[in-house]
Amino acid sequence: MMVLKIFEKVTTNFQGYLKEINQKRNTLEQKLYDANRNEELLQLMRIQKSLVYIITALRSNELLMMKLSRTNILQLTDDEKDF
């Protein structure tokens, strides 16, 4: 159950970061439309790079959870599987 709680916490944290990064991305995109400087473009590229890292980590966690559910190596109860 502890492993599942850790996955839940990691996923919740990632979702918060994704929301924050997406808001920054939207702000920078709007600034980019309004201005012709490269600074906003560089910031946008950095944010998109961060998004790629987070999405890759979430996908890896998803694959690991699928493997864990198939093998039942943790010997989870039905309630833990539902969680």
Q: With 80 as the cut, is the pLDDT of residue 61 above it?
A: yes
60 within domain boundaries: yes
Residue 50: which residues within 8 A CB-CB, separation 6 or more? 21
77 within domain boundaries: no
**The domain containing residue 58 runs over which residues?**
2-69
Give ∠ CA 47-12-50 in degrees, rounded to 5: 15
User: Half-sphere exposure (CA, 13 Å, Cβ side) for 28?
Assistant: 18
13 within domain boundaries: yes
The reply to whether the predicted model has a pTM over 0.75 is no
In the chain, the number of structural domains is 1
What tens digit of pLDDT does each residue of 8-50 get?
888 888 888 888 888 888 888 777 777 766 777 777 778 888 8
25 within domain boundaries: yes
pLDDT value at position 29?
78
